[in-house]
Amino acid sequence: DVFNGKLCLNADGTWISSDYVINSAGLWAGEVARRIHKQDKWQPPEHFFAKGTYFRFQGKSSFRHLIYPVPEPGGLGVHATIDWGGVGIKFGPDVEWLKPGTGPDEISYNPDPRRGDKFYGEIRKYWPDLPSGSLGVDYVGVRPKLSHPTTSLSTESGTTSGGVKFEDFRIVGPKTHGIPGLIHLFGIESPGLTSSMAIANYIKEILPT
């Protein structure tokens, strides 16, 4: 709600007012926006999730730099990342699409060791000498997505790749949804880390002074 020129949010029974609200809730950004705009004409885009598993190489690696293969639909491919902490090298993530309608609180972060079978084939495309049995499951991450293999591919924005429409992240401000001082960050995955300062500067520019 907007009251006396301020944005007012109810969080578990407590009212909070502010001149500006930046919805940077990551996996929860879509749900937060739906609650804010539940009675508005404008509605936030549908959100989906892609789980990515990492495996760690259990041995000494001779890699001295990052290795990125050809990207796959929904991700950058199973790439090699050097752990400068001295604990070796990790590979990943892969792309495991979760069912549409899955909520952020329904996601399991337990890695599945069986996904390692695919990893050996992908890694050997650029490291043919990867020893069998040398990968150990590491951890799982989840990326917010604005498209899914089950969604329509005939849209005005983005191109298709392997059955998945490319849909970049979105920064949605008052010109779109009509609420002054409110900014939504949707589908922020890698840019949340690699371009966080650029995103912050952009938001500063579009907020009223």
pLDDT tens column, 7-63: 888 888 899 999 999 999 999 999 999 999 999 999 999 999 999 999 999 887 778
Q: How much is the pTM?
A: 0.85
Instruction: Please give the DSSP secondary-structure letter assigned to residue 48.
Output: E
Residues 4-13: contacts with CB under 8 Å, at least 24 apart: 5/180, 7/179, 7/180, 7/181, 7/182, 9/36
Residue 17 DSSP SS3:
strand
CB 199 within 8 A of CB 191: yes
Edge to edge, what strands does the sheet with 6-11 contain? Answer: 2-3, 6-11, 14-18
Rounded Cα distance, 140 and 110, in Å: 7
User: Model confidence over 177-201: pLDDT tens digits?
Assistant: 999 899 999 999 877 877 899 999 9
**Number of Cβ atoms within 10 Å of the Cβ of 40:** 12
User: Model confidence over 113-163: pLDDT tens digits?
Assistant: 999 999 999 999 999 999 999 999 999 999 999 999 987 554 444 444 456
Rounded Cα distance, 149 and 161, in Å: 10
